[in-house]
Amino acid sequence: MWNPYTEEHEHFRKTVRQFAEKEIAPFSDEWEKAKDFPSELFKKAGQLGILGAHYSEACGGSGGDYWFSVAKAQELPRGRCAGVTMALLVQTDMATPVIADLGTPAQIDEFLKPALSGDRIAAIGVSEPGAGSDVAGIRTVAKKDGGDYVLNGQKTFITNGARASFVTLLAKTNPESGAHGCTFFLLPTDTKGFKVGKKLEKIGNHASDTAELWLEDVRIPERYRLGEENMGFMYLMQNFQAERLIGAVSGIAGARFAIEFSRAYGEQRVVFGKPLIKREVWQHKFVNMYTKVEMAQAFVDKCVDAYNTDKYENRGNVSMETVKLISMAKIVAGELVAEVMDTCLQFHGGWGYIEEYPIARAWRDARLLKIGGGTSETMTYYLAKLMGL
């Protein structure tokens, strides 16, 4: 059987697993109730090399390929705190890849390297109250003024938004051009005119901070522009692939843990004289879940292999064929994870509806996968276009 993981990958996987089990899991209940976790966790992860394993050494990483990021995303759910997993993955696979791709040496030194070491916390600022999956509808504007840009607008649903030291932010520099008038900027959050609005109350992922951001006459120097002006939408479409793929990887890993947790519960839970897992109806459902997870894992591995080849081995942009596969993977993972979590909750009966049982938390946390990074409906619409339908 094909195995893309080397001894080095597995050593890294062990490091992430120990980090999740020792630094996250023992505090997951506390952090969920507090709806927050210590920002120092980023630093701890950075010191272990967890944040930058799949980045080049020139960027402050360890020079590994994308399979290192996959191993990381598969092990972090062992911490049983999806909010922390999401916060760390935003740092490593959503807010920073575009800096590695486009950043100048000065931008990499100021923003990317300290993000990979955990000394700075990053957020990705794209979504707005009137523009979520429809990125072309963003209304935040950046106007050139001499050697500066002046930004005005609002962002929402921003993970790490309340604690970030900088935001990788998309704004309109040519509003008349729609999607083709967007530009990326690196925005330090201590800049005058930047303000964090309210933290949003979510139905899941409670430990992560999700905030509204306000920009009122925020002035930043031109050197904080990322890449070429008006090319932001094209850069974002490339960046989205890492976000969507890592979401699928992490989601499937979470589904595996939910199945195993439920199986252990079913071996101990006695119903009408014998363990619940020995009831034929549930045995069939577990077989069905195991089968679907293995099928989804095989497809996602194919996507990872294609992405790794495009971005790391060929040092090029992600091909449209790979984009198509990743979009499919996100749909498949979102639907499957929701099905698995619902079945596992049902298996627990009344206890599945009680907050102190991890399966209740996993069930509500998993719902985000069909929304974040592009809804399943948006992915389907996009795929229809790619297929010429």
| Residues designated catalytic | 243
Tell me how far the alpha carbon of residue 129 is from its chain's centroid. 20
The angle formed by the CA atoms of residues 374, 241 and 330, to the nearest 5 degrees, is: 50
In the chain, the amino acid numbered 44 is K
User: Cβ distance 363 to 202 under 8 Å?
Assistant: no
Give the tokens for residue 91.
């740092």
Which residues have a Cβ under 8 Å from the Cβ of 180 and sit 6 or more positions away?
A: 174, 230, 233
DSSP sequence for 322-341: HHHHHHHHHHHHHHHHHHHH
Report which of 89, 96, 90, 88 is spatially closest to residue 41, judged by C-alpha positions.
Answer: 88
Secondary structure (3-state) at 153: strand
In the chain, the amino acid numbered 164 is A
Among all chains, which residue has been given the structure tokens 């932001």?
Answer: 232
Element (H, E) at 86: helix 82-93
Determine the Cα–Cα distance for residues 50 and 43; give it in Å rounded to an integer.
Answer: 10
